[in-house]
C-alpha cells in the first residue's frame, strides 16, 4: 500500500478516524493519489470507503485516503476518472490553502438514499451528508428532525437513510 507522507490518520472530532495534513498544502495541490480497487456496482459488498467514479463503477480506497471525512465546507475535492484500460485513477486535491494539522475533508455528495447525519461542525453545515441538490427533498422528508446530530451517525437510527 503506497504511503502518502503529507497526511496522517488521527482521531477526528468529526467522526471516528480522519486525516490531517502534516505540512500545509497550496490551492490546487495534490494532497494524495488514491490507491484503490475498482468494482462494478453489482459486485460491491460494502460501499462505506468507496468513491463513485462513473455510472456503475466504484473505487474502494485502500490507503490512508479511505479515512477522509466529509465536511459541508470542505478544503479538498476528489478528482477521479476511469482510465479507459479497465482501471481508474483518483486523487485528493486542495480547494484552498490548508494549514499544517488541519483536517482534510471533501464533500461526499451522497445521493438521497445514502444520506447520513453530518457532524462536520461547519458554520453552514447542512445537517446531512447529501448532494446539495437533494437536500430540500431530504429536509421535506425529515421535517420534524433535521438539525445536526450531536451523537454521530448510527446506521440503526431512523436518522440514517442507509
Q: Is 11 in the site for ligand SAM (CB under 6 A)?
A: no
The DSSP call for residue 144 is T
Q: Is 128 in the site for ligand SAM (CB under 6 A)?
A: no
Binding string, residues 60-99; x marks residues near ligand SAM by CB under 6 A: ------xx-xxx----------------------------
Question: Among residues 12 and 75, whose Cβ is nearest to ligand SAM?
Answer: 12
Q: Is 159 in the site for ligand SAM (CB under 6 A)?
A: no
Cell of 140: 421535506
In sequence order, the 6+-apart residues with CB closer than 8 A to the CB of 115 are 128, 129, 130, 134, 138, 160, 161
Segment 54-113, which members bind Zn ion (CB under 5 A)? 72
First to last CA, the chain: 29
Residues pairing with 103 in the sheet: 20
Instruction: Please count the helices (runs of H) and the strands (runs of E) in the chain.
Output: 1, 12
Please give the residue ranges that form the binding site for Zn ion (CB under 5 A): 72, 118, 120, 125
What are the residues binding ligand SAM (CB under 6 A)? 12, 14-18, 48-49, 66-67, 69-71, 116, 118-120, 129, 153
Amino acid at each position: 500500500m503506497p504511503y502518502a507522507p503529507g497526511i496522517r490518520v488521527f482521531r477526528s472530532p468529526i467522526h471516528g478516524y480522519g486525516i490531517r495534513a502534516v505540512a500545509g498544502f497550496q490551492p490546487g495541490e495534490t494532497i494524495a493519489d488514491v490507491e484503490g480497487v475498482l468494482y462494478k456496482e453489482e459486485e460491491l459488498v460494502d460501499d462505506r470507503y468507496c468513491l463513485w467514479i462513473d455510472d456503475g463503477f466504484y473505487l474502494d480506497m485502500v490507503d490512508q485516503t479511505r479515512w477522509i471525512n466529509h465536511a459541508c465546507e470542505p478544503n479538498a475535492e476528489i478528482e477521479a476518472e476511469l482510465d479507459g484500460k479497465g482501471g481508474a485513477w483518483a486523487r485528493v486535491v486542495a480547494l484552498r490553502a490548508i494549514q499544517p494539522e488541519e483536517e482534510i475533508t471533501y464533500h461526499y455528495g451522497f445521493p438521497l438514499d445514502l444520506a447520513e447525519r453530518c457532524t462536520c461542525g461547519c458554520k453552514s453545515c447542512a445537517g446531512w451528508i447529501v448532494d446539495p441538490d437533494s437536500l430540500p427533498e431530504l429536509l421535506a422528508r425529515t421535517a420534524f428532525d433535521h438539525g445536526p446530530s450531536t451523537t454521530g451517525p448510527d446506521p440503526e437510527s431512523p436518522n440514517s437513510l442507509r
